[in-house]
Chains A and B, each alone.
Chain A
Amino acid sequence: MTIWIGLLLVIIGLGGGLAVGSGLVAFITVLDIIPRLTQLTNARRFIRAFEWSLVMGALFFTLIDFFHWRTRLPVFLTSIYGALAGVFIGTLAAGLTEVLNVFPILAKRIHMDGKLLYLLMAMVFGKVTGSLLQWFLRL
């Protein structure tokens, strides 16, 4: 492998990383997950820290994935990871604008403006059930 091919690979890798990284940040920004979480926890002062946590998380998991940094920790730790990952995916799913846009219209059509909570719980239980079914039945 000549130096030129190596240089080309570095440029391709860097470019790809830049595109994917900014894309990831843009995606999470669009869904307003971070403002929502800071609003819930009254942690507006720490918003910079949350930004960094996002960047470090992306970097860390890329590194352990690419370089196979394997550990031999007890199995129950995966449950902690699973719960955190689940909450994140939950906020992601809830933040998707399809959900937010469909609800007001649906609620008004069937005159349920006051009982949105029920409709919301339908979606929540649906997601949990769908997810569990998928893992148990190996769909």
Chain B
Amino acid sequence: MKQPMFLRLRKRLAVKPEALITMGDVCQIYWDGEREEAIKRMPIYRVKPQDGNLIIIDIMQVIQRLRSAYPEVELDIQGAPQLIVEVLNPKKNANPVLVVLVWLLLFVGSGLAIMNFHTDVSMLQVHQRIFYLITGQENKQPLWLQIPYSIGIGLGMILFFNHIFKKKINEEPSPLEVELFMYQQSLDQYYIQHENKENQRTKV
């Protein structure tokens, strides 16, 4: 009885510019325990400079390559139908000036946003009211309440993003990490749809 060859495409692959992508890079293979090593070394794609930094390798390319080498093979394909190859260009480091600029932007912007919020909800009146209810004294500027309050805002944000207790309490990701993951996943979906020429065909 003939053994089917099991193969499964990886999800993402990061390579250097002009790298030679082999079968072993793009998928996991299991066949009869002997010929896999040779198959894994089979080249499937050479990264060209004009490819940009994203390439999609479709399962059809892999099948074609395998069938041309082993016409008789029976394939059992698992997992996703395409793989995203990211070409790592060396000069992609953060520009320090830009970083400082963005830092200042966020700093000023978030400060403005919290002040807008406080005005919006009449936070000062509420503070004065709470101060009066607790102490029985009128105070136009209840700093005893307001300074801890301000520091508390910072603590609350850090708490929310889990940077003090990082990985100490549990393994769960912070909301920001989840959000980053979701964003990356949407991008990947977009690439798969738009960069893969086999996915779109206009017949006129």
> Residues of A at under 8 Å CB distance from B?
32-33, 36-37, 39-42, 64-65, 68-95, 100-101, 103-108, 110-113, 115-120, 122-136, 138-139
Contact = CB atoms under 8 A, between A and B. Distances in A.
A40 B156 contact: no
B68 interface: no
Quick one: which of A69, A75, A95, A139 has the most chain B CB within 10 A? Answer: A75
B191 interface: no
B33 interface: no
9 contacts: A39-B170, A40-B162, A72-B135, A78-B135, A85-B149, A89-B152, A90-B153, A94-B160, A125-B107
B134 to A, nearest CB: 5
Contact of A116 (B115, B136, B176): B176
Interface string B124-155: 10010111111111001111111111111111
B106 A119 contact: yes
B70 interface: no
User: Chain A binding site: helix, strand, loop or mixed by DSSP?
Assistant: helix
Contacts of A89: 149, 152-153, 156
B135 A87 contact: no
A103 B146 CA distance: 28
B160 A123 contact: no
Quick one: which of B93, B115, B157, B163 has the most chain A CB within 10 A? Answer: B157
Interface in B76-110: 92-95, 98-99, 102-104, 106-110
Quick one: which of B142, B144, B158, B161 has the most chain A CB within 10 A? Answer: B161
A131 B136 contact: no
Contacts of A133: 111, 115
B163 A120 contact: yes
Nearest to B160: A94
Contact of A123 (B110, B150, B169, B183): B110
